[in-house]
Structure 1
Amino acid sequence: MAFEAMTPAPQGSDTLVTDTTTASFRQDVLAESTKRPVLVDFWAPWCGPCKQLTPVIEKAVKAAAGKVKLVKMNIDEHPQIPGQLGIQSIPAVIAFQNGQPVDGFMGALPESQVTAFIERLVGPLGPGATAELLDEAAALLAGGDAEGAAQIYSEVMAQEPDNVAAIAALAKLHVDAADYEGARHILAMAPAGKENDPALAGARAALDLAEKAGAVGDLAELERRVQADPADHQARFDLAVGLGAAGERAAATDHLIAIIKQDRAWNDDGARKQLIQYFEAWGPMDPHTVAGRRKLSALLFR
Structure 2
Amino acid sequence: MDLIFNSGAQGAAGAAQNVPGDLIKDTTTATFVADVIEMSQKVPVIVDFWATWCGPCKTLGPALEKVVREARGAVRMVKVDVDKNQDLAAQLRIQSVPTVYAFKGGRPVDAFTGAQPESQLKAFVKKLMSGSNAGPTIDDYIAEAKRVLEEGDPQTAATIFNQILQEAPDNASAMAGLLRCLIAVGQTAQAESMLGRLAPEIARHPDITAVATALELARHAGGVGEAAELRRRLAADPDDHQARYDLALAYYAAGEVETAVDELLDLFKRDRAWNDDAARKQLVKIFEVLGFSHPLAKSGRARLSTLLFS
TM score, norm. by length of structure 2: 0.55
In 2, Cα distance between equivalents of 1:163 and 1:197: 10
The reply to whether residue 188 of structure 1 matches residue 219 of structure 2 is no
Match of 1:285 among 284, 293, 300: 293
Match of 2:268 in 1: 260
| 1:155-211 deviation line (CA, Å, top 9, x unaligned) | 111221111111111111111111112111332354422433221122111111112
Matched, 1:294 2:302: yes
Distance 2:156 2:252 in 1: 25
Q: Contact 1:167/1:187 (CA < 8 Å) preserved in 2?
A: no
Match of 1:228 among 208, 233, 236: 236
Structure exhibiting the larger radius of gyration computed from Cα positions: 1
Distance 1:156 1:235, change over 3 A: same
Distance 1:139 1:176 in 2: 14
- How many angstroms does 1:249 deviate by? 1.8
| 1:85-106: CA deviation from partner (whole Å, max 9, x where unpaired) | xxxxxxxxxxxxxxxxxxxxxx
> 5+ residue gaps in structure 1?
1-32, 38-118
Alignment partners' CA distance in 2, 1:201 and 1:151: 22
Q: Confirm or deny that 1:175 pairs with 2:183.
A: yes
Q: Secondary structure at the match of 1:193?
A: helix
- Residue 203 of structure 2: SS of its match in structure 1? coil
- Contact kept in structure 2, 1:167 and 1:189, CA below 8 Å: no
Deviation per CA, 1:128-165: give whole Å up to 9, x if none: 52112112212332443321110110111122111111
- How far off is 1:260 after superposition? 1.3
Could you tell me which residue of structure 2 aligns to residue 138 of structure 1?
146
Is the alpha carbon distance of 1:249 and 1:124 closer, same or farther for their aligned partners in structure 2, counting shifts above 3 Å? same
Question: Deviation string for 1:271-295 (max 9, x for gaps)?
Answer: 1111111111111111111111011
Aligned length: 188
8 Å CA contact 1:170–1:186 kept in 2: the answer is no
Q: Conserved in 2, the CA contact under 8 Å of 1:253 and 1:292?
A: yes
CA contact 2:154–2:185 (8 Å) conserved in 1: no
SS at match of 1:172: helix
Deviations 1:34-61 (A, max 9, x none): 9x87xxxxxxxxxxxxxxxxxxxxxxxx
Specify the SS of the correspondent of 1:162.
coil
> RMSD of aligned C-alpha atoms?
2.5
The CA distance in 1 between the partners of 2:161 and 2:288, in whole Å, is 21
Are residues 290 and 224 of structure 1, via their aligned partners in 2, closer, same or farther at CA, if it must alter by over 3 Å? Answer: same
Specify which of 238, 248, 257 is matched with residue 240 of structure 1: 248
Amino acid at match of 1:247: G
Give the direction of change, closer, same or farther, for the CA distance of 1:260–1:156 in structure 2 (3 Å limit): same
SS at structure 2 position matched to 1:171: helix
Supply the AA of the counterpart residue of 2:246.
D
Number of the residue aligned with 2:14: none
Question: Would you say the 8 A contact 2:154–2:184 is kept in 1?
Answer: no
Overall identity of the aligned pairs, in %: 39
Cα gap change, 1:182/1:259 in structure 2, threshold over 3 Å: closer, same or farther? same
The alignment status of 1:218 with 2:226, answered yes or no, reads yes
C-alpha distance in structure 2 between counterparts of 1:180 and 1:258, whole Å: 29
**1:153 maps to what in 2?**
161
Return 154-163 or 229-238, whichever deviates more.
Answer: 154-163
- Using the alignment, how far apart are the partners of 1:277 and 1:177 within structure 2? 21
Q: Establish whether residue 271 from structure 1 lines up as the match of residue 276 from structure 2.
A: no
Q: 1:203 to 1:124 in 2, by over 3 A?
A: farther
| Inter-partner Cα distance in structure 1 for 2:137 and 2:275 | 47
The CA distance in 1 between the partners of 2:158 and 2:189, in whole Å, is 16
Contact 2:149 2:181 in 1 (8 A): no
TM-superposed CA distance for 1:120, in Å, is 7.9
